[in-house]
Structure 1
Amino acid sequence: MHTSAATRHFSGTYAEARRKFLDAAAASGATVESFVLEAHRGALGETLATDVALLGAPGAARLLIVSSGTHGPEGFSGSGCQVATLHDADLLARLAQAGVALLLVHAVNPHGFSHLHRTNEDNIDLNRNHISFDAPLPVNAAYAEVEPFVLPASWPPGAADEAAMAAYIAQHGLRAYRAAVTAGQYASPDGVFYGGTGPSWSNRTVRGILRKYAANATDIAWIDIHTGLGPYGHGEKIYPGRDAAADLARARAWWGADVFAPFEGNSASADVSGPVVSTVYDECPRARASLMGLEFGTLPDLEVLNRLRADTWLRRHPEAPAAQQRAIRQDLRDAFYCDNDEWKGMVLGQTRVVLLQTLQGLKAA
């Protein structure tokens, strides 16, 4: 199969992606550290780890973080962007010249990346897990009402389940249905968009990475790469930070007027509790943080959601026939990774633009 220059940085499995990332990091002279998920193995029996690569001065005041794989198979695109960046001599030279350090965090959720689950080894959605567990857990009262037809007894859903969903949407509206399902819930451990009842391994690992690599930074820009929402191939710039006018204004000054904030109601993303990037406020309180979720569209939103429902259903039903298991796994992979040159080129081009804009913002900081 012909592989274009733009797409050679992408991989077909987590194991391949990890190997490409570590090889590219070593070739670029980066400082590399691996955080191994000891209690689990990958789908191919491989080691699972979150790997970091640092280019630039340790303890630099200005730090650009790019993370991948927060939602498992979304790591296929994020890893490709990170590997491409490690091969991008022009961009790396610009960073070095500006005195901006680059920290690449590869596979925030290695278990989900390898096993093709959006959630982690405990069915936790990591962008719902970075909350204060000292406070009462967030309550999503509507979730209990929708779960019986969102995760029915059999898959695909039957006529009665489809009718119940249609009735709910007719009464409450599509937006309310999606919020009930996707905003995050903390009551059903084997349900969809589950946030957990304590910090996950990935949560603890990311916090440790920040404490080690970002402790001296005064300005931090963090791009977390995602897939699955919005128009095909388009990179929506989602502002996942706190609701602070100055922070949102800075994001739009750096990245453009097309930065959308979920709390303003105009983003493809729900206004979620506890995204990974919010850890910067806890671990680097003295730093000025500029945050982005860069979200690349794949399939229509409700189709992606239906495939996520199937994935969660399968976790509840490990007795499902092998052919059905394979089909659900493949459907989920396809929901988050468009394995063609056109889409990959769109992802790489838009990511590079965002990284250059971020560099310019940090230079001026």
Structure 2
Amino acid sequence: MSFSSPHALSSHAARCFSGSYAEARRKFLDAAALHDAHVESFIHPELGAVGEVLATDVAYLGMPDADKLLIVSSATHGPEGFAGSGCQAATLADADLRARLAQAGIGLLLVHAINPHGFSHLRRTNEDNIDLNRNCIDFSAPLPVNAAYADVEPFVLPATWPPTPADESALAAYIATHGLPAYRAAISGGQYAVPDGIFYGGQAPSWSNRTMRTILRRYGAKARHVAWIDIHTGLGPYGHGEKIYPGRNDAADMKRARAWWGADVFAPFDGVSASADVTGPVVSTAYDECPHASVTLMGLEFGTLPDLEVQRRLRADHWLHRHPEAPEAQHLAIRAALRDAFYCDNDEWKGMVLGQTRTVLLQTLLGLQAAA
């Protein structure tokens, strides 16, 4: 797919990207039908922000029970779905990529809106304030402990918004004393003690967790090789797609990931990624539900605004969750700011997202093709 002019790129972006969850879902389902994909919808028990039906929709292209499976998922974190959905629509429209996948005998599974509630309501979390990338853990074992969270929460989620000068001073003092990496780990590493707090992992598997496991069992049962690209936004330099390895700390798996995608695959457990080292990412469910397959995972993370600004807007959203009595104008301003923190609604950024995603998908296709 090539673009002869900026207008062509703009038109393509307009066709792929959407301004709401409902529009994104409609475009995805229409594109899936146009290209004869097998479609299945998992209906969410709650309604969307404007009363619309919510669902995690899947579109599958390829031979049934293909032994090599490429998964591309969107909206693990609500409004990050604007970018992920656009990439999925572009993938469905990409005749060259579809032909290459078919020739290689690779199944393509597009999972649209893992977290439809957050996508529609413009919240990174789900209907229970759960961050899905902290929810996919073994709940029969003791829950992870993040002792530092209690130290930072009073000034991360203060009593009033915007924070007072005293709150800002307390935050700055914590960073000065402990360092920025420690501060980031304290809030974004995940916590399981404060249900209305930030980066909450839950007390049991969420609807999205259970649904994703059902999808994997249904579509990955016969696959011997699974590659999964989960598209995210909000961390790193503007428009850059960081290739984050969210899998197990296994030398052979890391070697395969870098052989497929390059030396610039960063692992959070090495301390070099824009992402915190979290427990329970959604993609880790592939290890549980496809134990017979080799699993190669990537979180493809596109930068938007400076890190601390994104974090500040996320803090505001969580403050609003605690304070539904806030004025309507403040509601609207915080929601709009959060959307803009995870979705840059301009052709430049969209073009960067689409181009880098296509490159990663081609690399993944070649990696799967070569897998023994």
CA distance in 1, matches of 2:172, 2:90: 44
| Offset from partner CA, 1:99-146 (integer Å, 9 cap, x none) | 000000000000000000000000000000000001000000000010
- For the aligned residue pairs, the C-alpha RMSD in angstroms reads 0.7
Residue 58 of structure 1 deviates from its aligned partner by 1.5
- Look up the SS of the partner of 2:148 in the other structure: helix
Tell me, yes or no, if structure 1 residue 343 matches structure 2 residue 349: yes
Match of residue 289 from structure 1: 295
Aligned partner of 1:204 among 193, 200, 210: 210
SS in 2 for 1:279: helix
- After superposition, where does 1:16-27 map in structure 2 within 5 Å? 16-27=23-34
SS in 2 for 1:221: strand
Distance (whole Å) between structure 2 residues aligned to residue 237 and residue 58 of structure 1: 29
Matched, 1:244 2:250: yes
Q: Which amino acid aligns with 2:344?
A: C
Cα pair 1:7 1:345 within 8 Å, conserved: no
Query: 1:158-177, aligned counterparts within 5 Å?
Result: 158-177=164-183
Hey, what does 1:330 align to over in structure 2? 336
Identity %: 78
In structure 2, what is the Cα distance between the partners aligned to 1:189 and 1:27?
Answer: 42
1:310 alignment counterpart: 316
Aligned runs of 1:5-16 on 2, under 5 Å?
5-16=12-23
Partner of 1:130: 136
Paired AA for residue 307 in structure 2: D
CA distance in 1, matches of 2:166, 2:237: 31
Counting only pairs closer than 5 Å after superposition, residues 38-187 of structure 1 correspond to structure 2 as: 38=45, 40-187=46-193
Moved more, 162-171 or 235-244: 162-171
2:297 counterpart letter in structure 1: L
Q: Aligned residues, how many?
A: 363
Q: Distance in 2 between matches of 1:103 and 1:287?
A: 16
Shift of 1:81: 0.2
Q: What code does the residue aligned with 2:35 have? A: S
Task: Quote the offset at 1:6 in angstroms.
Answer: 3.4
Deviation at residue 4 of structure 1 after TM alignment = 2.3
Cα distance in 2 for partners of 1:146, 1:246 equals: 37
- 1:294 is displaced (CA, Å) by 0.1
- Equivalent residue runs for 1:211-222 within 5 Å: 211-222=217-228
C-alpha distance in 2 between matches for 1:336 and 1:169 = 24
**Contact map agreement 1:4 1:341 (CA 8 A) in 2:** no
The code of the aligned residue for 1:100 comes to I
Gaps of 5+ in 1: none
- Return 3-12 or 41-50, whichever deviates more: 3-12
Choose 300-309 or 162-171, whichever is displaced more.
162-171
Partner SS, residue 103 of structure 1? strand
Question: What secondary structure does 1:140 align onto?
Answer: coil
Conserved 8 A contact 1:280-1:289: yes
Deviation at 1:159, TM superposition (A): 1.0
| TM-score normalised by L of structure 2 | 0.97
**Letter aligned with residue 257 of structure 2:** A
1:30 matches 2:37: yes
Paired residue secondary structure (1:328): helix
Q: Distance in 1 between matches of 2:180 and 2:69?
A: 40
Letter in 2 for 1:11: S
SS of residue paired to 1:223: strand
Conserved in 2, the CA contact under 8 Å of 1:260 and 1:267?
A: yes
Runs of 4+ residues deviating >3 angstroms = none
For residues 49 and 102 of structure 1, what CA distance do their matches in structure 2 show? Answer: 19
Normalised TM-score (structure 1): 0.99
Q: Deviations over 1:297-327 (max 9, x none)?
A: 0000000000000000000000000000000
